[in-house]
Structure 1
Amino acid sequence: MRLSFSVLALASAFAAPALAEDSFPATLAGHAAIPALTLITPPADAPQDAWVSGKFTGKARNDAPMTVEGNTGKAYGAHGTGLYLPFIGQPMQGMSGFAMTPAEDGSIYTLTDNGFGNKRNSPDAMLFFHKMAPDFETGTVERRDTIFLSDPDHKVPFRIAYEGTDSRYLTGADFDTESMQVLNGEVWIGDEFGPYIIRAGLDGVVKAVYPTVLDGKELHGPDTYSVYVPATAGKDFQVQRSGGYEGMALQPNTGLLWAMLEKPILGEDGKPEGNFLRVIQFDTNTAEWTGKSVKFALAEGATAIGDFNFIDDTRALVIERDNGEGDAARACADGATDTSGCYPRPAKVKHIVLVDTADIDADGFMRRIGYIDLLNIADPNGLALDGMKPAEGPFSFPFFTIEDVIAVDDTHILVANDNNLPFSGGREPGVAANNEFILLSVPELLAAK
């Protein structure tokens, strides 16, 4: 069937509470994918520099397209991914967030991230969001539109990579865009570098950039433009690198954004304040931080979150994950020196957690109601796409970064991964991960209170 989406305080150091929650089953109801090497054309008025992307992903500039193979890195087995940089065009990859509100045509607003992973290597990676529609009959995903972010009115408070151009398109050297919501004809985007909240029109034109305020103080990351090296962790910056707004949920009928940091913030000693994440509330009606913040407790083994979206007035879904990648059945043996056909850091914690934002304990923690395990998904009808099924056992979603989740209806959710093109695998050693969209039947999870 084709899925229809129209139906569809800084210094505190409390220990995270003991987690007593239910585990619920998940069944695969649909599977679709975008091939890893899917490139799109920049706008006609984009700088010529943007027509070849990934020129700065190595130790030195490389202008020769398709000459250097992407690699997962030593910690992940040093697997080549079979795809070569730089790319001719812009990679469509990097699904880093779903908006809760569908587009008028029923498609999903889907955000891409900063490009190739950090501020230094992504100055030629353009920032954009899409309208996408997965088709679970064909196993494909239709890209209906792409909207590129730009700053023609000079709202960004620092020099952008394409500062001297007329079009002033934004790139991954400017922001790391990881979460988004659409409200009243505007787009609200959570950034990791500042961390900032970016306000833009549906045409991608930036209207404002808001720095983060927690407990009356502005929070900074190591990539905030006003932070200079050398900088002291915990004093000059409090948000870890790649620890900004990975999830940003829009509470229905309120205009409130609940912006969740990806990683624990740092205390004045430079160490994480605890095994929990800050969730900071922003009011789109007044364009101000409300002063309210709560905490999300991470499960044992989890290191970060991937997305955050409400399913009703108070309950919401959170993706929590470890830094592992690949099927544990293909884990490398202890002490293995040849990791070419195995995973040295297989996936172990990949959850979709249901929380209640109206149930906050005395220490400020949201109640975790229950979760599903993305490494244990039933597939009784054999819906998993060819080439993306495990050799044995249940279907799983063993990707490093799983960054997209929304509720589709009362019994189904949609989940997708960020494939970190061309640096991540997950399905097969030596093969770049595709962008996969999975429809999951989870009635027990969504009904849980």
Structure 2
Amino acid sequence: MRLILALLACSAAAPALSEEVFPATLAGHAILPAFTMVTPPADAPRDLWVSGKFTGKQRNEEPMTVEGDVGKAYGGHGTGISLPFIGQPVQGMSGLAMNRDADGSWFALTDNGFGSRINSPDAMLFFHRMQPDFAGGRVTRRETVFLRDPDRKVPFRIANEATDGRYLTGADFDPESIQNLDGELWIGDEFGPYVLRVARDGRVLSVHRTTLDGEALAGPDTPGVTVPAQPGADYRVQRSGGYEGMALQPGTGLLWAMLEKPLLGPDGQPEGDFLRVMTFDTAAGDWTGESFRFRLSEGATAIGDFNFIDDNRALVIERDNGEGDAARACAEGAADQSACYPQPARVKNVVLVDTASRDAQGFIRRIGHVDLLAIADPDGKASGGTATGGTFTFPFFTIEDVARVDDTHILVANDNNLPFSGGREIGKAADNEFILLSVPELLAAR
């Protein structure tokens, strides 16, 4: 009896077993160069033909005069690309739609531009059809569609309110997730957070504010929230904490919209190490009232994308705020960080979840994950010698795209935050990288 009690006591004190880690093998690597620009539509205001004019402390009208850098917290490394830009940067793949276009190309979304509402009034909003060619190692942009509000569906004043075209900019929304359903696009925004219904030609058809437990959610950038505002009282969504992932459940028309970061509690602090997931009925054009929770693993601070692979199982990218190869981490207390990463990547996972399996608190069951910092490359698929010792890593700050390709492969891509992120090479802006991963064990897990 004493032995049984002792064993039970040891079992209760022991930490929970970690979830299974499945292997991932690089099956393809395609790159869209960091400095890839697109021309604005002919009827766009002349102001939008030069972008990034407001990313410094004051307006800068001189193209290509101020080099971007990764920020002091990440070593202050320059990226070799300077602002403002002539044209609009294609950068920032911030979401993949589960359903591809008829020609097999992927609907991919560019986010708000330069990282905030304040610095992005001249960054146009658009989505693309992208076609990675893993045999040739390149990515073809088949189409770019600019978002606009000619029918005045946006419920607040937009930056281009008085123009004929009423093109949307990063001062209006921060689009981070996208789905393709019956010829229309559904886009998840971070500022509101809002869900946008958009026609195939980029026209906004409707805008839906978020409700949770019968109350409207807001963030510090939501129109109507005025400064000073009390976190946890005047708003609960963290800045840059809206819909980073919004999955479309097959056969139901339901969008599962997942916040990027934990909601704030009444004390203004994160309510826990989990993210809220709300369901939206596209047929009804309204929230269902149901909500669930996704538990972050230790070290993870946010998610990057969310897509179903069948009726109930889905993939979620979870990440930390790190950037760069941990093998080149700065020594503790190092004064010179010019050739090292002070905050290297440590947690970059693609997690498989079962949305139909939830506990009493609404937590979605995690089945297992693959580690994007430990990808096998036995066949030398990595471009430009980016693999070391047969191992390929994906050490970017924001990895924001994942989707199932077939029964054994997934597609993953990064948001390169042009020109403010590196990750692959110190002193060089990150490219838009698309990787094809062979993960049969992960996709077969239940």
TM-score bracket relative to the smaller structure? over 0.9
Q: CA deviation at 1:185?
A: 1.2
* 8 A Cα contact 1:412 1:440, kept in partner: yes
Which deviations, in whole Å up to 9, do the C-alpha atoms of 1:106-138 show, x marking residues without a partner? 100000000000000000000000001000111
* 8 A Cα contact 2:377 2:387, kept in partner: no
**Amino acid of the residue matched to residue 103 of structure 2?**
D
Give the aligned partner of residue 333 of structure 2.
335
Q: Does 1:48 align with 2:25?
A: no
Distance 2:119 2:102 in 1: 35
Which deviations, in whole Å up to 9, do the C-alpha atoms of 1:35-84 show, x marking residues without a partner? 10011100000000010000000000000000000010010000000000
Match of 2:198 among 185, 197, 200: 200
Match of 1:443 among 435, 440, 444: 440
Which deviations, in whole Å up to 9, do the C-alpha atoms of 1:128-164 show, x marking residues without a partner? 0000100011100010000000000000011101111
Q: CA deviation at 1:390?
A: 4.1
Q: Does 1:235 align with 2:233?
A: yes
After the TM superposition, which residues 62-101 of structure 1 pair with which residues of structure 2 at under 5 Å, given as runs? 62-101=60-99
Which deviations, in whole Å up to 9, do the C-alpha atoms of 1:156-213 show, x marking residues without a partner? 0111011110000000000000000010111100000000001110111001110000
Which sections of structure 2, spanning at least 5 residues, go unmatched? 1-14
**Amino acid of the residue matched to residue 329 of structure 1?**
A
Which deviations, in whole Å up to 9, do the C-alpha atoms of 1:294-350 show, x marking residues without a partner? 000000000000000000000000000000000000001111111111100000000
Give the aligned partner of residue 297 of structure 2.
299
Q: CA deviation at 1:20?
A: 3.8
Which sections of structure 1, spanning at least 5 residues, go unmatched? 1-16
After the TM superposition, which residues 388-427 of structure 1 pair with which residues of structure 2 at under 5 Å, given as runs? 389-392=386-389, 394-427=391-424
* 8 A Cα contact 2:40 2:87, kept in partner: yes
3-state DSSP class of the match of 1:445?
helix
3-state DSSP class of the match of 2:375?
coil
Distance 2:85 2:272 in 1: 40
Distance 1:239 1:19 in 2: 31
Q: CA deviation at 1:268?
A: 1.0
Give the aligned partner of residue 31 of structure 2.
33
Distance 1:394 1:323 in 2: 22
3-state DSSP class of the match of 1:386?
helix
Distance 1:177 1:320 in 2: 18
Normalising to structure 2: TM-score of the pair? 0.96
Distance 1:300 1:101 in 2: 32
**Amino acid of the residue matched to residue 40 of structure 1?**
V
3-state DSSP class of the match of 2:376?
coil
Give the aligned partner of residue 6 of structure 2.
none
Q: CA deviation at 1:391?
A: 4.5
Give the aligned partner of residue 23 of structure 1.
21
Give the aligned partner of residue 218 of structure 1.
216
**Amino acid of the residue matched to residue 372 of structure 2?**
L
Distance 2:18 2:77 in 1: 38
Match of 1:384 among 376, 382, 385: 382
After the TM superposition, which residues 124-273 of structure 1 pair with which residues of structure 2 at under 5 Å, given as runs? 124-273=122-271
Q: Percent identity, aligned pairs only?
A: 73
Q: CA deviation at 1:363?
A: 1.1
Distance 1:270 1:393 in 2: 45
Q: CA deviation at 1:19?
A: 6.8
Give the aligned partner of residue 370 of structure 2.
372
RMSD, matched Cα: 1.0
**Amino acid of the residue matched to residue 313 of structure 2?**
R
* 8 A Cα contact 2:380 2:390, kept in partner: no
Distance 1:32 1:161 in 2: 35
* 8 A Cα contact 1:19 1:368, kept in partner: no
**Amino acid of the residue matched to residue 221 of structure 2?**
D
Give the aligned partner of residue 4 of structure 1.
none
**Amino acid of the residue matched to residue 413 of structure 1?**
I
Distance 1:132 1:300 in 2: 33
3-state DSSP class of the match of 1:280?
strand
Given the superposition, is the C-alpha separation of residues 169 and 384 from structure 1 closer, same or farther in structure 2, using an over 3 Å criterion?
same
Q: Does 1:428 align with 2:425?
A: yes
**Amino acid of the residue matched to residue 75 of structure 1?**
A
Distance 1:203 1:310 in 2: 25
Distance 2:234 2:354 in 1: 33
**Amino acid of the residue matched to residue 394 of structure 1?**
T
Give the aligned partner of residue 6 of structure 1.
none
Distance 1:154 1:86 in 2: 30
* 8 A Cα contact 1:19 1:299, kept in partner: no
Distance 1:393 1:233 in 2: 47
Distance 1:270 1:342 in 2: 34
Q: CA deviation at 1:392?
A: 4.4
Distance 2:47 2:103 in 1: 33
3-state DSSP class of the match of 1:197?
strand
- The count of residues paired between Structure 1 and Structure 2 equals 432
Distance 2:45 2:16 in 1: 52
Match of 1:275 among 270, 273, 276: 273
* 8 A Cα contact 2:352 2:369, kept in partner: yes
**Amino acid of the residue matched to residue 104 of structure 2?**
G
Q: CA deviation at 1:18?
A: 5.5
Given the superposition, is the C-alpha separation of residues 18 and 169 from structure 1 closer, same or farther in structure 2, using an over 3 Å criterion?
farther
